[in-house]
Amino acid sequence: MKTATAPLPPLRSVKVLDQLRERIRYLHYSLRTEQAYVHWVRAFIRFHGVRHPATLGSSEVEAFLSWLANERKVSVSTHRQALAALLFFYGKVLCTDLPWLQEIGRT
């Protein structure tokens, strides 16, 4: 995972998915990574009835990841990609320190 040594600049975008794209581009992630992360964060938001992700916590993340694994029957690599997208989004876009998120889906 890419890390920034300097503090991240404030985001100029207002919409959360635009903020996600802005941060990914600032950190020079690939276009394919951007597309995948936007897909998973959008799916997460839609799964929870278009609620703002800042209002969602560990139980909502677990519910989404469980739904992917149990209902959608996604592969392990797809599940990990969705988790990575949420980790990036909460950590780098919302700048939220969520230690519980590190443990979700890593078993």
Question: Higher pLDDT residue, 15 or 7?
Answer: 15
Instruction: Tell me if 41 is assigned to some domain.
Output: yes
Instruction: Tell me if 2 is assigned to some domain.
Output: no
Instruction: Tell me if 7 is assigned to some domain.
Output: no
Which domain covers residue 85, as residue numbers?
A: 16-103
Instruction: Tell me if 4 is assigned to some domain.
Output: no
93-107 per-position pLDDT tens digit:
998 876 666 666 554
Three state DSSP letters for the chain: CCCCCCCCCCCCCCCHHHHHHHHHHHCCCCHHHHHHHHHHHHHHHHHCCCCCHHHCCHHHHHHHHHHHHHCCCCCHHHHHHHHHHHHHHHHHHCCCCCHHHHHCCCC
Mean pLDDT of the chain: 89
Instruction: Tell me if 3 is assigned to some domain.
Output: no
- Domain count along the chain: 1
What CATH number does the domain containing 24 carry? 1.10.150.130
